[in-house]
Chain A
Amino acid sequence: MHDDPLKDEPKEKVDDNSGVSRRDFLKISTISAASVPILGTKIVQADGQPVKVFGPGKVPVELTVNGEKHTLKLEPRVTLLDALRDQLDITGAKRVCDRGECGACTVLLDHRAVYACSVLAIDAQGKEITTVESLMQGETLHPIQQAFVDNDASQCGFCTPGFVVAFKAFLDQHPQASSDEIRRGLSGNLCRCGTYHGIHLAIAQMARKGA
């Protein structure tokens, strides 16, 4: 997680004191239309366009996680994953590659699966954040979780929450999906212990249910 100073990129002209990094810049520029009202922002010119800048320093951030609202003060560069884990102690989503390669940090953002390591916390404001912790109904496992248990689809278990959440997101959007389709849908998640055989079986169990 190294944020290279923007001054290394001479093409993009930004107020030198803005504290904006290239990574922040890219994120900000994609959400500038979302116009989330946040205190402490300012507008700078980047490539002739006005963009909203958060920080430098900590800014207030409001996150809705599993239906509960949390108000935090975070540096704008903090990812959703780190905010969940280090600020809210919601640790089901795991930090593994920290750059969108392995899927262990998968959470739902407005019901769509995202890599929480690749979303800034400030970008997750105003959206419904759902983590693996919310899948159980009381002490009853979600059918996907039960399918993982039945088919021994976890060993060390570090990739498991990411797989479970990605699985749920995919099935929610494709309730009639076949096993092959689910497999493709989960191909953004990696396991090291080698639990894919169990996951294949869990997929088959769920696909049968869906059919």
Chain B
Amino acid sequence: MRRRATLLIAALCAACSSAPPPAPPPAPQAQAQTRLNESEARAAALVRAGDFAGAAREYGEAIRLAASVENADALAANAINQSIVDQWLGRDAEAREAIARVTDDKQRNFPEKRRLQAEVRRAILELAGSHNDAAATWAGRAETRCAGACEHAATILNVQAQIALATSHPADAERLAAAAGERASARGDKAEQANALRTLGRAQRLQGNAAAALPNLEQALLIDRELGDPRKILADLTELAMANDAAGNRDAARNYYARAVAVSKAMNDTRGLAEMEAQVKRP
């Protein structure tokens, strides 16, 4: 009697623990697309959480999935994202490799918008690596594709302005940055507007017109504080310190240097910290 009861209980437990019948699997194409969407969502979440290395891995996986379903748009978008994240991690070679998947692939039918974005990103990467000629070439291609009326027009002009600064043409930089500022302002693109104002101020300072640079740099700082990007705030404070120094406002320059030191320490960014601290102490 007891054995029968034990068997009955065991059978009941087994019945309870058995898995329900599996749902029919989705179609392979839909399955891959779902995995692609999930991978993109995970990558975006990792970027928001500040895990850039994890995000780069996820973007790599998303690129692989997009390639497997021949989704050119997703492939390009994720390659661009991966290049951005790689650059944040200081992995410039990987960033260039990621963007080359789009810029160097003439066979695949990428959407025009993605090709343009990739060219802008390539120009940014080349300039960041001090390859000014290559940067100018890619920026020129992007400019041609954009025809002055795309959403990245201000970004392209800002990159060209920075190229002009890097190649010691501050007058050209001033003109390009002013045009970029107008485009960005018309589109309500605060980030590029601040970038344009910063570049404009720098170009004016380099031309010996530091007094004219100050209001532009102060406006850039206002916008960047509103956007809350410490990298840009640090750049604005440094530019303001140098412009004030050039304009003969030593006290104001010292104050901006001190603020830049505080921001730099808060960011754990030690680049140029010693020089800035020396500037603060300089009478």
Q: Do A and B come from one complex?
A: no
B-binding residues in A (CB < 8 A):
none
